[in-house]
Amino acid sequence: MYRPLSLLFLVMALAPLAGCGGLFYPSIAADYQRTLQIYEAGGSYERVIRDCNKGRRDIAAFARRCPEGSPCRQKENPGDLNLLTSRYDYLEAASCYRLGRLGTAWVLAAKPEHEYDPAMHKLLGSIHIARGESEKAAREYFYLLLLGDGESAAVLLPSLEADLDRKPLSYQTPHLLNLRAARYERINDTQAALRDYAASISVEPRQIHAYRQRARIFSDGGMPEKALAELNTAVFIDGRKKAYSDTRMDELQIAAVYFERGRLRLATSNVDGAMADFAAAARKSKDPRQAARVNFEIGQIHESTGNLDLAIASYKKAADLPGFGDPWYRMAICYAQNSMPRESKDALVTLARIDREKSETLAQSLKEMELLK
């Protein structure tokens, strides 16, 4: 009669190791995929919400049982646990949105850790549209553009513009004025766009977006001095203490402001000022994707002026972003031009893991140009 009890004690003793051994612990990644499939199939959103809560608890338990670098973590190989937790947050928020629980959906989507997640900003935009909060939805539209997700921004645009058409011309809020200005730009009515950007600045002079857009209009119109003045104002605003609702969004924009000012300075032969701005742009980039794009652009500028070593250094920084193949493509070329065939081949091998066809095509081109054997 003691045998069942002894077996129970044995199971309890092994329980802390079960996750490591994989005997009792389910696959975290597989659990998430099942929850995702239920959501995408339009299944029970209530079940999705329950599964998301359970999934996050399982991730936390797994992280405790199998810390980074442990054999059980390597065996399970669930990937980035923070990313998995974030994806569960999204599925739960999206399910709440579909069930009409807009408040709960907003709380989940607006967590600080999701600041650079385009999917969450798209969802926030949809929540604000459903609530009739068009100014806040317009903010999410511009945020998505800053994050480089034009496709998601385009999904929000028809509803935003329809709401904009219902507003009286006297309606004055900064993001909707910027949205209307952008529409004028698309039909090449730059004077109307400049008027709306000026009105937007009058409503909220601490913003950066309108100054940056006016600089682009002036630059495209062959007025580099005016464009530089706008960007100088944006930098001045960023350097002062300010506290308003879009400060975090402007933290993304300021890197682009420095980069654009650097390009203007480069065009006017102010090389030292340009390179200082490029360095500031890379340093101030908050979003890893933005930082990678800035460093990639800096690399291209160095490459175009023949500074291959500096170009390679910038491309290496850009390549820190997983799955970003462009810097490896350019590094393969720079190394080949620098008579460094081994390094060029290594870059091609890395590129092949991201885009095999592009790697093979480039390798063939370099061989035809006798830059690579």
Exposed e or buried b for every residue in 301-317, given b needs 16+ CB within 10 A? bbbeeeebebbbebbeb
Q: Over 50: is that where the pLDDT of 123 sits?
A: yes
CA 315 vs CA 10, 11, 193, 293, 364: distances in Å: 55, 53, 36, 10, 22
For residue 27, which of 88, 72, 82, 86 has the smallest C-alpha distance?
Answer: 72
CA 323 vs CA 112, 169, 193, 320, 344: distances in Å: 24, 45, 37, 9, 18
Domain termination site, one of 114, 131, 151? 114
Residue 296 counted as domain residue: yes
13 exposed, middle or buried (CB, 10 Å; 0-12, 13-18, 19+)?
Answer: exposed
For all residues of the chain together, what is the average pLDDT?
87
Residue 274 counted as domain residue: no
For residue 129, which of 97, 151, 104 has the smallest C-alpha distance?
Answer: 97
What pLDDT band is residue 7 in, cutting at 50, 70 and 90?
very low
Residue 143 counted as domain residue: no
Domain termination site, one of 94, 114, 134? 114
Residue 279 counted as domain residue: no
Look at phi and psi of residue 339 and say left if phi exceeds 0, alpha if psi is from -120 to 50, else beta: left
For residue 197, which of 221, 220, 172, 222 has the smallest C-alpha distance?
Answer: 172
Range of the domain at 88: 16-114
Q: Over 60: is that where the pLDDT of 140 sits?
A: yes
Distance in angstroms (rounded) separating the CA atoms of residues 206 and 211: 10
Which of 1-15, 99-113, 266-280, 355-369 is predicted with the least confidence, judged by mean pLDDT? Answer: 1-15
Provide the number of structural domains found in the chain: 2
Q: Tell me the average pLDDT across 2-24.
A: 37
Chain segment 229-262, per-residue pLDDT in tens: 999 999 998 877 665 567 778 888 888 899 899 9
What pLDDT band is residue 24 in, cutting at 50, 70 and 90?
very low
Q: Over 70: is that where the pLDDT of 50 sits?
A: yes
CATH number at 297 reads: 1.25.40.10
Q: What is the pLDDT of residue 124?
A: 97
Distance in angstroms (rounded) separating the CA atoms of residues 329 and 352: 10
DSSP for 32-51, written as a single string: HHHHHHHHHTT--HHHHHHH
Chain segment 287-308, per-residue pLDDT in tens: 788 788 888 988 988 898 899 9
Residue 349 counted as domain residue: yes
Based on its alpha-carbon atoms, the radius of gyration of the chain, rounded to whole angstroms, reads: 26
Residue 167 counted as domain residue: no
Residue 29 counted as domain residue: yes
CA 359 vs CA 64, 236, 308, 323, 342: distances in Å: 40, 44, 20, 14, 15
Domain termination site, one of 61, 88, 114? 114
Residue 86 counted as domain residue: yes
Q: What is the pLDDT of residue 264?
A: 92
Chain segment 71-118, per-residue pLDDT in tens: 888 887 777 899 999 999 999 999 999 999 999 999 999 998 998 899
What pLDDT band is residue 29 in, cutting at 50, 70 and 90?
confident
Q: Over 50: is that where the pLDDT of 16 sits?
A: no
Chain segment 320-355, per-residue pLDDT in tens: 998 899 999 999 999 999 999 999 999 999 999 999
Which of 7-11, 54-58, 139-143, 344-348 is predicted with the least confidence, judged by mean pLDDT? Answer: 7-11
